[in-house]
């Protein structure tokens, strides 16, 4: 990767990935784009352009003008929003992906886009979900992710585009709050523990989902994109995870630092239904064996870092 275009750079992943890529490859070598602008480091610390990923001509122009050799395509609607607006999700998630893949094909760019544990469904083995298994998701987001995995493999086999992807679990971060996800409770709980010493979870007790702290997710993207292609048996997309927990476990970890913290439940049936269709835990063996995936954070040290960083951010 030498000259990188990031779409959806102001989203939960992009807000931190852009800074990491600029630190590794040089600020001027990472062109951040999003459908809107804001007052963040992503906009001020390096090249930034407004880009709607449905505008294939503008995307192509930005790539040619900047001699981009790598496209990191993040722009997409997440699971809960996609379930509320399924046709918009199909059009944006798939239309944007096709546009980005076509530009990567025409301009010979390496390509990354995230998949998700949402690419699995109720008939997928729920525990230690294998890399290669049944994928019959029952959400529009999951249909988008499975379709995206297949499309990215197609562009590799048919056109030789160097496509690579990761099936991310829920990502936990303190920079940009997630928007429209099912796993967002695992981010909200930290904010509200500090601000209110209590949290009402919309995901029910005992609902296990895979999770990962954002620093591990960012490193996984860079490591995968730098991996020796000769060693990649899989490409789109690798299971990656750092931990699997249910709401009571993250509440108990927070209580070690905020003893007065309490949590109750007001389950959101829509997001609970999505969560119930996903695995309890996935198996990241292929990622470990093919490109050395390793997570540094678990629930304990992530909670220490999240609370420390959020205390500073929230000034509490």
Beta carbon of residue 62, minimum distance to ligand VAH (angstroms, whole number): 26
The answer to whether residue 141 is catalytic is yes
Contact between residue 208 and residue 281 where contact means Cβ atoms under 8 Å apart:
yes
* C-alpha separations of 153 from 33, 162, 223, 301 in Å: 25, 9, 19, 36
Q: Which of 118, 142, 148, 284 binds ligand VAH (CB under 6 A)?
A: 118
Nearest alpha-carbon partner for 281 in 186, 208, 203: 208
110 binds ligand VAH (CB under 6 A): no
247 binds ligand VAH (CB under 6 A): no
Q: Which of 31, 78, 166, 242 binds ligand VAH (CB under 6 A)?
A: 78
Toward ligand VAH, which CB reaches closer, 29 or 173? 173
- Region 271-300 residues binding ligand VAH, contact defined as CB under 6 A: none
Q: Which of 25, 141, 156, 265 is catalytic?
A: 141
224 binds ligand VAH (CB under 6 A): no
Q: Among 24-32, 33-41, 177-185, 190-198, which window interacts with ligand VAH (CB under 6 A)?
A: 177-185
Q: Among 43-51, 92-100, 112-120, 283-291, which window interacts with ligand VAH (CB under 6 A)?
A: 112-120
- Region 134-153 residues binding ligand VAH, contact defined as CB under 6 A: 141
8 binds ligand VAH (CB under 6 A): no
**Spatial CB neighbours of 123, under 8 Å, sequence gap ≥ 6:** 134, 136
70 binds ligand VAH (CB under 6 A): no
Contact between residue 146 and residue 153 where contact means Cβ atoms under 8 Å apart:
no
Residue with the two structure tokens 């005992």: 206
Task: Using CB under 6 A, count the residues that bind ligand VAH.
Answer: 13
Under the rule (CB under 6 A), what is the footprint of ligand VAH?
Answer: 78-79, 116-118, 141, 169-171, 178, 181-183
The set of catalytic residues is 141
């Amino acid at each position: 990767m030498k000259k990188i275009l990031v779409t959806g750079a102001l989203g939960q992943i992009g807000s931190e990935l852009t800074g990491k890529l600029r630190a590794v490859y040089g600020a001027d070598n990472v062109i951040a784009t999003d459908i809107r602008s804001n007052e963040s480091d992503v906009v001020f610390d390096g090249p930034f352009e407004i880009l709607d990923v449905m505008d294939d001509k503008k995307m192509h122009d930005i790539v040619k003008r900047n001699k981009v050799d790598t496209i990191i395509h993040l722009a997409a609607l997440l699971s809960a929003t996609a379930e509320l607006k399924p046709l918009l999700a199909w059009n944006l998630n798939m239309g944007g992906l096709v546009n980005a893949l076509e530009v990567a094909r025409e301009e010979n760019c390496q390509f990354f886009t995230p998949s998700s544990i949402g690419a699995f469904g109720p008939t997928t083995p729920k525990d230690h979900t294998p890399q290669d298994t049944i994928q019959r998701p029952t959400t529009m987001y999951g249909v988008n992710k499975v379709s995206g995995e297949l499309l990215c493999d197609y562009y590799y086999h048919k056109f030789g585009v160097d496509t690579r992807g990761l099936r991310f679990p829920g990502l936990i971060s303190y920079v940009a709050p997630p928007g429209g996800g099912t796993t967002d409770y695992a981010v909200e709980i930290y904010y509200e523990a500090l601000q209110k010493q209590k949290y009402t979870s919309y995901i029910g007790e005992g609902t296990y989902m895979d999770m990962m702290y954002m620093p591990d997710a960012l490193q996984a993207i860079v490591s995968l994109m730098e991996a020796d292609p000769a060693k990649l048996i899989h490409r789109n997309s690798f299971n990656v995870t750092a931990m699997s927990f249910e709401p009571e476990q993250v509440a108990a970890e927070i209580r070690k630092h905020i003893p007065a913290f309490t949590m109750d439940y007001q389950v959101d049936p829509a997001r609970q239904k999505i969560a119930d269709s996903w695995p309890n835990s996935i198996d990241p063996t292929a990622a470990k064996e093919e490109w050395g995936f390793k997570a540094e954070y678990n629930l304990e040290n992530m909670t220490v870092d999240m609370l420390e960083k959020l205390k500073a951010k929230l000034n509490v």
